[in-house]
Chain A
């Protein structure tokens, strides 16, 4: 199996200037993701899972360590090589109300990145296909985010990410901000898409239940460190770390 993304001893420390106080957000984290695999990262607030994602997306600079996607060292690469990154990795954020520019139409948002890489005409052609893939009617391309529901906006965000034909899709709590009865729709959509497009997926969530159902492999993070790693069923049935145990205990009880 080819490794598509890899983190080697990645650390992120936030220093507060002048106070000597520092906060270790990510502490010596290493892992790799194979092509076509879906890796889940589970943790609560302060676990560092979002910081890991942001470093992988080249949004937050690591203090030390190496991050590679498709062989490119994303933080050491020169400008020319960096231009390949938008086609290597894309993202879906948690908050559907913040991830779309309220002043840009749906169509413009979806093709915002694709336009630059594939050219305006190609991007417009692809727009129709993308709307179909995520299950939105064609006429939505002229609407604005405020006219859409949360679930619909997330689908726009998915289309925008897929427009770049990325190898890796990072989904940072993609359904946490949606109503429970609608989360399944988006999750099933992501499920179908990753199978059809053979996407490699990094799925970040605080919900161990969702991660278990969606991911082939799981990392559990607590306070910046990876405390447990393995197959979801194994972790569920025989967790080794106390934090994992407390996460499992806290899961909602749906059956009586």
Chain B
């Protein structure tokens, strides 16, 4: 008596449980508590920083001046981190600055990533001529210093948040476009892409459905790196006076003002400096961590 059926197809193994499709949930689960907490802190800080500038009743937190209590040291007279040259609360100034930094970071990052994807895929998949043109554009942009572009924009539309975002985004995308092009060059040789072409799927749809989706891990890692570089970039531009202008808080602005008063009190330089360093360090490390999780084969290089 046979215990098995005759139908061979019935004997193939039942596949395992349906996999969790919420990739984010999986990432969180696999990261240890440090990353999760750190990201949360940064997120909360950034959101708070934006809120205090947007919600009218909260503006006073960072705008209130007290000329009788300037350059207070931290832990004195009710200000956790002291006050700045106009007696404004340093803690809220820094939070506000963080909010600006992160907003700019996210904005620049998203624009860079989208531009990078579009142009990288165009060069990698749409023919030799497209590739040649793209490479020239990418190389020129890559070499172009963001500061120079910022100077141009500052002269044209005046220094502001927009200037910062535009000058950073329009130079940043090139590095990512290079990575995308490289990935597309190898992806397009994969059999499932060949199969899609034989099936008659137009190249544009293949790009969206196969390339972008398969590039998501790389993209996510680059987004985090870009936020880090944009924060430094913004601080630098504001420091030079080409970016955000008072009264909008900015870590770079605080630094540049504090520089003049270094003899009186170091806190206006030290505090935003430390915050910048810690924030960028954390973001770079977070990017590395994500890369370890998502890209074990080391295709992504930090700029």
Contacts and interface: CB of A to CB of B under 8 A. Distances in A.
Interface of A: 54, 57-59, 83, 85-86, 89-91, 93-95, 98-104, 109, 112-113, 116-117, 135-136, 140, 142-144, 146-149, 151-152, 157, 160, 164, 185
B210 interface: yes
B8 interface: yes
Contact of A112 (B9, B16, B201): B201
B214 interface: yes
Contact of A86 (B12, B194, B199, B209): B199
A99 B195 contact: yes
B200 A113 contact: yes
Contacts of B13: 149
Given A59-B197, A89-B198, A144 B192 contact: no
B16 A147 contact: yes
Contacts of B16: 147
Closest 8 CB pairs of A and B: A113-B199, A86-B200, A147-B15, A135-B9, A99-B191, A93-B191, A98-B191, A101-B192
B19 A147 contact: yes
Interface string B177-198: 0000000000000111011111
B198 A57 contact: yes
B6 interface: no
B73 to A, nearest CB: 55
Interface in B13-27: 13, 15-16, 18-19
Interface string B1-45: 000000011001101101100000000000000000000000000
Q: Select the residue from A85, A98, A149 with max chain B CB neighbours within 10 A.
A: A98
Contacts, number: 77
Contacts of A85: 200
Nearest to A157: B195
Q: Select the residue from B8, B9, B197, B200 with max chain A CB neighbours within 10 A.
A: B200
Interface string B192-233: 101111111100000001100110000000000000000000
7 contacts: A58-B197, A99-B195, A101-B214, A112-B196, A117-B200, A135-B9, A147-B16
Give chain B's interface secondary structure class.
Answer: helix
Chain B interface extent, by class: 20 to 34
A103 B199 contact: no
A148 B199 CA distance: 22
Contacts of A100: 192
Given A103-B213, A113-B200, A152 B195 contact: no
Nearest to A91: B198
A152 B9 CA distance: 9
A151 B12 contact: yes
Contacts of B210: 101
Q: Select the residue from B195, B197, B201 with max chain A CB neighbours within 10 A.
A: B195
A160 B15 contact: no
Interface in B157-192: 190-192
Contacts of B199: 86, 90, 112-113, 116, 160, 164
A193 to B, nearest CB: 14
Given A58-B197, A116-B199, A185-B8, 9 more contacts: A59-B198, A86-B200, A91-B195, A98-B190, A101-B210, A146-B19, A149-B12, A149-B13, A151-B12
A18 to B, nearest CB: 15
A93 B9 contact: no
Given A144-B19, A185-B8, A116 B201 contact: yes
